[in-house]
């Protein structure tokens, strides 16, 4: 499975699927770290976002609106990183840094 595949599966996961969709991202990116070690830092970033969401929200109710906002935020990061994966190390680093800076300025839902 590629990062593009994971991104598409997450995008098409049903709204309201809650932590299950984030858990699938976590597990899939963890596998990618081993099979594509050259991009492990990118996969680790998304893995940790998804992992944090699962830890924070697994045992607590969350509104559908909040869950969908979190999904869209993570999906946006994933799409940007996916597009940057084929553009060379400098573009990938710049995109990863932009994602981190954007996340730090957000409500940090995960």
Q: pLDDT tens for residues 39-89?
A: 999 999 999 999 999 999 888 888 888 889 999 999 999 999 999 999 999
Residue 110 lies in a domain: no
Residue 67 lies in a domain: yes
Residue 34 lies in a domain: yes
CA distances from 17 to 13, 64, 65, 88 (A): 7, 9, 12, 34
Residue 44 lies in a domain: yes
Tokens of 47: 């893995």
Residue 7 lies in a domain: yes
Q: Which domain holds residue 27?
A: 3-105
Q: Is the model more confident about 65 or about 102?
A: 102
Residue 79 lies in a domain: yes
Structural domains in the chain (count):
1
CA distances from 80 to 5, 18, 77 (A): 14, 22, 5
pTM over the 0.85 mark: yes
In whole angstroms, what is the distance from residue 4 CA to residue 78 CA?
9
């Amino acid at each position: 499975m590629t990062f593009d595949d994971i991104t598409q599966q997450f995008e098409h996961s049903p709204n309201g699927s809650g932590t299950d969709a984030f858990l699938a991202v976590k597990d899939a990116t963890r596998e990618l770290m081993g099979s594509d070690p050259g991009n492990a830092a990118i996969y680790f970033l998304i893995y940790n976002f998804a992992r944090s969401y699962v830890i924070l929200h697994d045992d607590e109710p969350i509104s559908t609106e909040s869950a969908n906002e979190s999904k869209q935020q993570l999906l946006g990061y994933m799409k940007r990183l996916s597009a940057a994966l084929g553009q060379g190390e400098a573009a990938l680093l710049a995109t990863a840094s932009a994602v981190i800076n954007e996340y730090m300025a957000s409500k940090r839902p995960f």
